[in-house]
Structure 1
Amino acid sequence: MERLQTRGPEIGICNICGLTERLTDDHVPPKGVPLVGQVYLDRLSEALGAQKPTRQARLFQRGVKYRSICAKCNNERLGQALDPTLVQFCKDAKAAITERLYLPSDIRVQQNKLFRSVIGHLLAHGLGTHKAGQFIERKTEYFLKLDQPFPEDLRLYYWVYPYKPQIVGRALARKELIIGTDVVIFSLLKFFPIAWLCSIGDLEGPDAAQVTRVDHLATPNIEDFAHLRINPSYIPAAHWPEAPGGNSVVLHNRLGTIAIPRPPQ
């Protein structure tokens, strides 16, 4: 089995902007969010049925990183302009979960920066995937054009994720085995304390009722604020939506990954 690759060439095409530049390491999830440390990185499709990391798993000392984007996208667009909003939102969400137990809490946040940070790290995940398909192309255009509202044909969801494994998936497909439901294509970014999902099409099924859709909150002004509710009473199953259930099927590709914290030695 081919080993997981996370380091692109020193000079290559940036996953986000598409320019041929010196590539830099992007942490997925970004540095500063809670509970990022030593992890074993494995393929998601292989690890879902395993009780421990497979033989192909790789150890990362300080979170998973991909050499996949240029310095401008990494340091300026993400690191300086957008990631501080995502990091602070995750810290506020952790505090809300810890301090208020199962009571809902509203967090005031610059939603357009938050959403773009999430999309940016989804785009940075993997190697050599700049605009690899219409789904990724639409997310790329949204990320780079700061005055653009969220694409009308895409959806963005989030929910409380109180688990330690960090999961990233690109262009997975899920089908609920109910007459009339459509196949939903989605990308996924799950790490404590919040999970994010971007999709083509509306989520369906019982677990979908536990998540919150937020793309309608996006506006053309990058500096706008909105309130996002953290509600620990509504949490989907731990392995939803990447794992199939009794009434659903999920199609994976080789780009999906799971990072499992290394046990104390």
Structure 2
Amino acid sequence: MHYLKFKREKIDRCNICSQIAQLTWDHVPPQGGYKVTEVEQESIIQYLTGGAKKSYTFSQNGVKYRSICGSCNNGLLGSRFDTVLNEFTTDIMLMVKTSIQLPKGIIRVKTRPGLLAKAVIGHMLSASGEYGESKFDDRFRKYVLDDSLISPEGLRIFYWIYPYSSIKIIRDVGMPKYRGSWEDFKRGIGIFSIMKYFPIGFIVSDVEKYEGLEELTQYCGSNLSDEAFIRINLHDVREEYWPEVGDDNILLGGNGLGNGVSALPRRRKKN
């Protein structure tokens, strides 16, 4: 049975600060960086396994998880990190929607990489229907909560243009470091968390490089407020189902895979 299980008790442990508190709903991705609409959702397990008979749940205002306290939701993510993430995605969105032909399709978007990275990883933390106790959850929490950590230790954040209307949230899955044949797979497995929504996809992983993607943490300076121009390749467009699906890939997931979501704008039946 496929189901979505990210509605928790109203009083529970916050996925970010670990305190027992009244939990609030966090939009993943955050409101303000894309057009929030009514969506039909299915679990990532159902999305990956397919089948003719589908079971959907509906949300009037995007994908959301009741998983973090009000302080982390509003004071940490909302007022500090999400404004940077939303400005970043809005700037890219304007470029994607224009018909201007740029040389080699390369643009550079000004942002604050340290705050942008914390926003991405913060929402990865909240995107779970249970309090995670893995080493990756601990590493995510340490980074998001500690202002002295400008970039996440031992982690990379990859990104690429995602010109699709679907939202995909996948946490802590194993995939080969190198896609291709079985011989490539034997070169090692990395841990990946994925968040994709128009106009950009993000991967947080412990691998140093992945499939030629641009990487965010290289731009992080010595302070969270440092600004940089982030390179965006508008021509580097992957398939909508990439990287989680493909003949050149395998995906390994545990119980946490049930927290993943695939969502589309709700389709209305014609009369």
With the length of structure 1 as denominator, give the TM-score of the two structures: 0.91
Distance (Å, rounded) in 1 between the aligned partners of 2:30 and 2:5: 19
The separation in 2 between residues aligned to 1:53 and 1:224, in whole angstroms, is 50
Whether the aligned pair in 1 keeps the contact of 2:5 and 2:258 (CA below 8 Å) is: no
SS in 1 for 2:45: helix
CA contact (8 A) 1:47 1:53 kept: no
Q: Deviations over 1:167-197 (max 9, x none)?
A: 1111011123334521011101100001100
| Secondary structure of the corresponding residue to residue 162 of structure 1 | coil
The answer to whether 1:261 aligns with 2:262 is no
What's the CA shift for 1:63? Answer: 0.6
1:219 is displaced (CA, Å) by: 3.2
Query: In the aligned structure 2, how far is the partner of 1:67 from the partner of 1:159?
Result: 28
Residue 63 of structure 2 corresponds to which residue in structure 1? 64
Query: Which residue of the partner structure matches residue 89 of structure 2?
Result: 90
SS at structure 2 position matched to 1:48: helix
Separation of aligned partners in 1, 2:260 and 2:165: 17
- State the SS of the aligned residue for 2:258: coil
Task: Please list every run of 5 or more consecutive structure 1 residues that lacks an aligned counterpart in the other structure.
Answer: none
Query: How far apart are residue 2 of structure 1 and its match?
Result: 5.5
Q: How many residues of Structure 1 are paired with residues of Structure 2 in the alignment?
A: 258
% identity of equivalent residues:
31
Q: Write the deviation string for residues 195-238 of structure 1: whole angstroms up to 9, x where unpaired.
A: 1000012344xxx12x2012122234111101112221112222
Q: Matched residues in 1 for 2:171 and 2:87: separation?
A: 25
**For residues 187 and 226 of structure 1, what CA distance do their matches in structure 2 show?**
24
Q: 1:71 to 1:97 in 2, by over 3 A?
A: same
1:84-103 CA-partner distances (Å, limit 9, x unpaired): 11111111001111223563
RMSD: 1.9
1:50-129 matches, cutoff 5 A: 50=50, 54-55=54-55, 57-99=56-98, 100-101=100-101, 103-129=105-131
CA contact (8 A) 1:148 1:219 kept: no
Correspondences of 1:88-237 after superposition (within 5 Å): 88-99=87-98, 100-101=100-101, 103-130=105-132, 132-175=133-176, 176=179, 177-179=182-184, 181-204=187-210, 208-209=211-212, 211-237=213-239
Query: Residues 101 and 66 of structure 1: is their aligned pair in 2 closer, same or farther, counting only changes over 3 Å?
Result: farther
Helix, strand or coil at the partner of 1:128? coil
Sort the Cα spacing of 1:2 and 1:47 in 2 relative to 1 into closer, same or farther, 3 A. closer
Contact 1:66 1:125 in 2 (8 A): yes
Per-residue CA deviation, residues 12-56 of structure 1 (Å, 9 max, x unaligned), is 10000000011111001111122321111111121135388821x
Is contact 2:158–2:202 with CA below 8 Å preserved after alignment?
A: yes
Output the TM-score relative to the length of structure 2. 0.89
In structure 2, do the counterparts of structure 1 residues 203 and 129 end up closer, same or farther at CA, with 3 Å as the change threshold? farther
